[in-house]
Amino acid sequence: MSPRKKKKKWNRVDGRDFNELRPLKIESGVLPNADGSAYIEMGKNKIMVGVFGPREMHPKHLSRPNMAVLRCRYHMAPFSVDPRRSPAPSRRDNEISMVMRYALEPAVFLDRYPRSVIDVYAEILEADGGTRCASLNAASVALVDAGIPMRDLVVSCAAGKYDGQLVLDLGDHEDQEGEADVPLAYMPKLDMVTLLQMDGILSPKEFDGCISLALEGCQKIYETQREALKKKYEVEEEEKKD
């Protein structure tokens, strides 16, 4: 099969268009014992995020006297991938935890809660590529649900290059077989980017294309996040009418 022939009737593995997101579902307030929580399904990704705090930090010496500490934990469940993975945090888990923290910190008013901690736990129940973006989308919904003062929501989406074509929201296969992957997190109302990573090789032009594609995807995800947050209160209004 020559590449040219393939391009003519070009189609992605799951039949999506190049700028189409995977099916997305977000729910807020799913864990009664957490201060705030969210559940996201982004394609086959299934992620649960719980937020606790602001609360007293233990160990105390890690707290900061002038602001709160945002502590993120990204963890993939042993059954989230095939074959089973070890439940111990890997180097990858640790790095994505850090990346999530960097992406969320600009959105949270940490200076309002000195000497305390805000914990964000993201548990990957099922992984299918782009888990860090999906975790960030759920985490920002969970932070709002926890009543933590925020500047804006954080929306995250990846774009990349697969089979010579720029595509939005890469799945697991495209992520591994593709040429490049650009995860991006964005605060839509403030128009600020809080996370930008790149894996693979892109020309400057392609890179710009990826960013505009990802920003476009972020706008769509933002609408879903808004709906998820508002839905928690709408359901009760229907109850009221009964």
Which class for 23: exposed (0-12), middle (13-18), buried (19 or more C-beta within 10 A)? exposed
147 is a contact residue toward another protein (CB under 8 A): yes
Stretch that binds another protein, among 9-17, 42-50, 52-60, 97-105 (CB under 8 A): 52-60
Residues 6+ apart with CB under 8 A from 76: 85, 93, 124, 127, 131
Identify whether the C-beta of residue 120 lies closer than 8 Å to the C-beta of residue 69.
no
Cα maximum dimension of the chain: 63
144 is a contact residue toward another protein (CB under 8 A): yes
Say how far residue 130 (Cα) sits from the centre of its chain. Answer: 8
68 is a contact residue toward another protein (CB under 8 A): yes
Query: What is the rounded distance in angstroms from the CA atom of residue 124 to the CA atom of residue 135?
Result: 8
**What residue has token string 């940490």?**
110
What minimum distance in Å lies between the beta carbon of 115 and another protein?
Answer: 6
116 is a contact residue toward another protein (CB under 8 A): yes
Q: Indicate which single residue of 48, 120, 146, 166 sits in contact with another protein (rule: CB under 8 A).
A: 146
115 is a contact residue toward another protein (CB under 8 A): yes
Stretch that binds another protein, among 75-83, 109-117, 120-128, 205-213 (CB under 8 A): 109-117
Provide the binding-site residues for another protein, judged by CB under 8 A: 35-36, 53-56, 68, 109, 113-116, 144-153, 187-190, 226, 229-230, 233, 236-237, 239-240
